[in-house]
Amino acid sequence: MIELKAEQQDDWWEVEALYDLCFAPGREALSSYRLRDDVPPVEGLSQVARDEQGILAGAIRFWPVHIGADDALLLGPVAVHPTHQGEGLGGSLIRDSLAKAQESGWARCMLVGDEPYSRRFGFRKLDKVEMPPPTNPDRVLGFALKEGAWEGVAGMVSRWRG
């Protein structure tokens, strides 16, 4: 059985090792990482998934960002260890953490990712929101945690300033 729980400070390097395993070298050169520099992930929303032996099976992180005068969550990365892929764990991490984000009062969440995969969770293309280059605008997707949360939200995504 897999248990989902909030990521703790002691989980940090183990989660980073999972991301290194699951993603291509140079992942930290992506523009989304510039938005995360010196900004801690949102406490309580970033989660880890561990198996019965306590071995890390998956992880998801959320980061606060600004879009003009509006706040949003930036989802990512989410990763599942290769030995647990195909079990639905990635979807469980996404659904569970989006529910927690909604409960904690966030209005909107975005990610840079694959629309066919992300659409199953309710993410849609954001036509008026721009990620720093080089980001394919077709991969900038949003999910409304509150009704109408993306209405009128436009502009460049920037680092959280508190």
From residue 61, give the alpha-carbon distance in Å to each of 41, 74, 103, 106.
6, 8, 16, 15
Predicted confidence (pLDDT) per residue in 98-147, tens digit: 999 999 999 999 999 999 999 999 999 999 999 998 899 999 999 999 99
Q: Distance (Å, rounded) from C-alpha 137 to C-alpha 17?
A: 29
CA nearest neighbour of 18 among 90, 87, 86: 90
- 3-state SS class at 4: strand
- Per-residue pLDDT, 33: 64
Window from 28-37, 80-89, 112-121 with minimum mean pLDDT? 28-37
In CATH, the number for domain 3-159 is: 3.40.630.30
Sign, Cα dihedral of 140, 143, 146, 148: positive
**Under a CB-based contact definition with an 8 Å cutoff, are residues 91 and 98 in contact?**
no
Q: Which residue has the tokens 């990521």?
A: 7
pLDDT at 26 over 90: no
Concatenating the DSSP letter of every residue in 82-147 gives: GGGTTSSHHHHHHHHHHHHHHHTT--EEEEES-HHHHGGGT-EE-TTEEPSSS--GGGEEEEESST
